Structure 1
Amino acid sequence: MSKPLRIGIIAGEASGDILGAGLIKSLRARYPDAIIEGIGGPLMIEQGFTSHFPMERLSVMGLVEVLGRIRELIGIHRKMYRHFKENPPDVFIGIDAPDFTLRMEKKLKLLGIPTAHYVSPSVWAWRKKRIFKIKESTDLMLTLLPFESKFYQQHQMKECFVGHPLADDIEMNPDRNEACQALGLDVNRPVVGILPGSRGGEIKYIGATLLRAADQIKAVIPEVQLVLPAANELRRTQIEAIQTMSGIGKDIHIVDGQSRTVMAASDVIALASGTATLEAALHKRPIVVVYKMASLTFSIAKRIVKIDYVSLPNLLANKALVPELIQDDATPENISAEVLDRLQHPEKYKSVVDEFYGIHTLLQQGGNEKAATAVLALIGK
């Protein structure tokens, strides 16, 4: 009797959990008895994944912030490497979190274990020489965006453009009325989605700013419905603490999870930069992108990042489709002004929404299936 297929996966944050869950589902459809383990989130665990550490422990943002957790991260890395060395997988897949996963890939590759990396690091934007480390560490790069594939082809590295699974999961025309009803909202009143991010550091730096912006929007349009999906219980507690201590954002309706339902219900979305910006674009809603980080982290990043845009919709379009309010520009006044303009003059942003349809079509590639096929091909399955 042949041994079951063993697959190692480490995902570092909420967006990686989504990708990992879709990949696992496609792998299990072909190999139902596969042993799939490592570090992942609740969506991956729902697909029969065994997580040896809470994924939350890897979700650290910023160069400075990592330093405070470096000991713990090194400890987790050592334990997982030891586990995979003693229980070698047929293939290992690192999903995003490149500082953590690429190190693991390199060490496992030296043991003769085939490795794949899902979600390209922003090597095309900064520290381009990392391509040599990536080639040393991984046998296959699974890319979500077409311009990433071109970069790896130029450097003669094996890659597969799989598109973005979010484009497969999200309907081309999400039903706003249905989403409003699911959340108990009045379909005849405007809705603004407030998404401060899934990581503690994101809430720390932009949570209060977004809550103050929400208050300013409410002051101008009293009938507006403000909805904030908390990524998990920890984030809800963090947001509620800001409300209690500062007395701001009292009119915001906090829901547990349901970020996609909130996006579908919204007329305008104000959100943290990250994968959620693409998700919002795929819902065809006007977006205002916000981001802040530690001052030292920002000053370092400003010197080394060589791109014109930070949000995925703008990067894919290669133009400023959506406003990006970063660091000092991320004020409650600027955020509320951008949101209010989109609420009060939706006709001005119809062309932007039309561009979002083009992005959706471009990324709709059957990502989960393509990723599973490429990973299995890597090990001759």
Structure 2
Amino acid sequence: MVELQGLRVAVVAGEASGDILGAGLMRALKARHPQIEFIGVGGPLMEAEGLVSIFPMERLAVMGLVEVLGRLRELLARRKALIETLIAARPDVFIGIDAPDFTLNIELKLRQAGIKAVHYVSPSVWAWRQKRVLKIREGCDLMLTLFPFEARFYEEKGVPVRFVGHTLADAIPLQADRSAARAAIGLPEQGCVVALMPGSRGGEVGRLGALFFDAAERLLQVRPQVRFVLPCANANRRAQLEALLVGRDLPITLLDGRSHDALAACDAVLIASGTATLEALLYKRPMVVAYRVAPVTYWILKRMVKSPYVSLPNLLAQRLLVPELLQDAATPQALVDTLLPLLEEGRGQTDSFDAIHRTLRCNASEQAADAVLGLIEGKLT
């Protein structure tokens, strides 16, 4: 067994979601080894747990092809310098959290230098670009997955893997208090509330915002007492949504953030495909998933993506559990026609949501820490 006194762990996260996961993992590792040392790159939550960040995590948080190309020289230089720094520091293990385009290469280089490498949060190799699994198998001693279907994929490909569960499933209660949530955001306790969640990025809101508002207006004609709630991801999204609401007379409450309050308060959700669908599932709220991308992007993705589903609830259920209305199928009337039955009876979805929640509720940070320490000690299970 490896002596774990003076344990040094290198961790790199590239965005806010990774900072949350990294902080939870670091906390669980510290509980077992209080003298542990953390180096690498992370955000404020990881720094609060003791990480000495080599450079600000914000330098890695780049979205979009054009933005990445504009920063490519800097990103490549930072990755090269980071690899050199970490090889010199000789940590007992390196953990790359998500950000696969940045971290997988680091894992490969460090593993070639004799440093154990872990990747936390699987990229979507099961859906597209499946050849990436070859690089993962070469560069990764252990893959930690949030979802069980991902673990099955890696087992079939010969990659050491551990399903650890999802921290959101640990944090969100099995049964949310709808009345308390409504009181917290100023909605009446009685009556039907539908959450509208057209995405957190400007492009998503641009493609789905007016569509969702058109659907809300049609729903209001059928159900005049319905009210709507919409959590805005940030000030820019709020301004964008307020502009789309000009000239409409919708009984809608816009929130600054507070997506969990919106989900806890509502009866059903009209939602963009993405991580928010997992949150809606965990809050046991019936949902209709919609998504639109540029026509050329959709044409390319249809030929590249291997999965029959796009939304996390369906991927987790491995069946069409929630309706997915994509591209031209996502019309205002289709959204209303699909949502109305769920307002009457959504148990067909929510009973399955509860079973999935319990499967994912594994105390993820503790599971991840156990797996990492097991790898260091050479008794990976």
Q: Answer with 205-214 or 278-287: which moved more.
A: 205-214
Aligned residue identity for 2:84? K
Q: Which residue of 2 aligns with 1:127?
A: 129
Structure 2: how far apart are the matches of 1:313 and 1:241?
A: 28
Per-residue deviation at 1:123? Answer: 1.9
Task: Give, as a single letter, the amino acid of the residue that structure 2 aligns with 1:24.
Answer: M
SS in 2 for 1:123: coil
Unaligned runs of 5+ in 2: none
CA distance in 2 between partners of 1:223 and 1:47 (Å): 48
For the pair shown, the structure with the greater C-alpha radius of gyration is 2
Aligned pairs for 1:155-304 within 5 A: 155-231=157-233, 233=234, 236-244=235-243, 247=246, 251-304=251-304
Residues 124-154 of structure 1, C-alpha deviations (whole Å, 9 max, x = no match): 2223222111112221101122222222222
Code of the residue aligned with 2:262 in structure 1: it is V
Aligned CA RMSD, in angstroms, stands at 2.8
* Contact 2:13-2:57 at 8 Å conserved across structures: no
- The residue type equivalent to 2:290 in the other structure is V
Query: In 2, distance between residues paired with 1:110 and 1:143?
Result: 23
CA drift of 1:56 comes to 8.7
CA change 1:155–1:4 in 2 (3 A) is closer
Distance 1:125 1:329 in 2: 22
Give TM-score, length-normalised by structure 1: 0.85
Distance (Å, rounded) in 2 between the aligned partners of 1:351 and 1:115: 42
Letter of the 1:284 counterpart? K
Corresponding residue for residue 366 of structure 2: 369
Equivalent positions of 1:1-381 (< 5 A) are 5-12=8-15, 14=17, 16-32=18-34, 34-36=36-38, 38-40=40-42, 44=46, 47=49, 49=51, 52-55=55-58, 58=61, 60=63, 65-87=64-86, 88=89, 89-231=91-233, 233=234, 236-244=235-243, 247=246, 251-343=251-343, 345-346=344-345, 349-380=346-377
> Deviations along 1:294-317, whole A, 9 cap, x unmatched?
322221110011221111211122
CA distance in 2, matches of 1:156, 1:202: 36
In structure 1, list runs of 5 or more residues that go unmatched. none
Q: Which runs of 4+ in 1 moved over 6 A?
A: none
Contact 1:36 1:50 in 2 (8 A): yes
Partners of 1:121 and 1:169 in 2: how far apart? Answer: 23
Q: What's the CA shift string for 1:162-192, capped at 9, x where partnerless? A: 1222222221111111111222211112221
Distance 1:81 1:380, change over 3 A: farther
Shift of 1:227: 1.6
Of 261-270 and 288-297, deviating more is 288-297
Distance 1:257 1:43, change over 3 A: farther
Aligned residue pairs, count: 369
Identical positions, percent: 45
Distance 1:49 1:31 in 2: 15
Q: Deviations over 1:328-362 (max 9, x none)?
A: 2223332233233322x22xx21221111211222
Q: Deviations over 1:179-238 (max 9, x none)?
A: 11222211112221222333344334323333333343344434333222223x3xx323
Whether the 8 Å CA contact 2:273–2:311 is kept in 1: the answer is: yes
Distance 1:35 1:253, change over 3 A: farther
TM-score by length of 2: 0.85
Q: Residues 295 and 137 (structure 1 numbering): CA distance in 2 closer, same or farther, change over 3 Å?
A: farther
